[in-house]
Amino acid sequence: MAFTIRPADIIKIRAIDFLIETFQGVVIGNEVKYGSSRKVVDLLALFKGQTYAIEIKSSRDDLRRLTEQITEYSKIFDYTIIFTTRDHFAKIQSLTKRNVSIYEISPDGIVVGNLSKKRNNTQKIEMLATMNSAFIRKKLSISNAKDSDVIRKRGMRQKKEVIHSLLYDFFREKLSEPYKLFLEERGTITDVDDINLLSNRLNVD
């Protein structure tokens, strides 16, 4: 039986290669858990101190949850990017706000349909929920608390900039080694088998 690559994986491969070629020094994670909902973002990119939630929408994907997904991403990640096909492009534009960047992938290349430089209004409580409590406890030197809820409550006392920096460090610590292995195994372009090397379902308690 012939092995068939899912349309979403084809777009994901194209997106990964585009990010690597365009943003020197980027770190990428695949299917990364986030927030109190424990949901998963298709791709996460770290670049120059900023976090990028990347949603993949193939022509076969349902768009009914897209608005909800974008709202959830905006609570945690600095920027949101959608990679999609021509079939969904116009519909996604109509559903999304101006602070979402949209890239159209076609056989001829990748076209920027909407490029937003507006940063999301993230929430401390959701950024803290994305990190495991042991990491927060260590980095914020919270020595007299072990309960995860208490640790995150203490974390809420910090400025938003501090929590943002902490979240970036958390992702970088968790994703850097898998990404390094991915680059070593990848070759010149990404193959569908390479994607699993980027997967790191972060432990959040």
Average pLDDT over residues 154-174: 96
If you average pLDDT over residues 178-205, what whole number do you get?
A: 83
Residue 68 φ/ψ, nearest 5 degrees: -65, -45
At 61 the pLDDT is: 87
Q: Which of 4-13, 78-87, 141-150 has the highest mean pLDDT?
A: 78-87
Q: Is the pLDDT of residue 183 over 80?
A: yes
pTM of the model: 0.92
What value does the mean pLDDT of the chain take?
Answer: 90
CB 190 within 8 A of CB 13: yes
At residue 1 the predicted structure's pLDDT band, cuts being 50, 70 and 90, is very low
Q: Where are the domains of the chain?
A: 7-186
In this predicted structure, what is the pLDDT of residue 201?
A: 58
Residue 170: how many other CB atoms lie within 10 Å: 19
Residue 152: CB atoms within 10 Å? 21
In 3D space, the residue among 50, 58, 55 whose CA is nearest the CA of residue 78 turns out to be 50
Instruction: Answer whether residue 203 shows pLDDT above 60.
Output: no
Give the mean pLDDT of 10-29: 94
User: What is the tens place of the pLDDT at every residue in 128-149?
Assistant: 999 999 999 999 999 888 899 9
pLDDT higher than threshold 70 for residue 3:
no
Quote the DSSP letter at residue 136: H
Pick the range with the lowest mean pLDDT from 36-50, 58-72, 150-164. 58-72
Given a cut of 70, is residue 95 above it in pLDDT?
Answer: yes
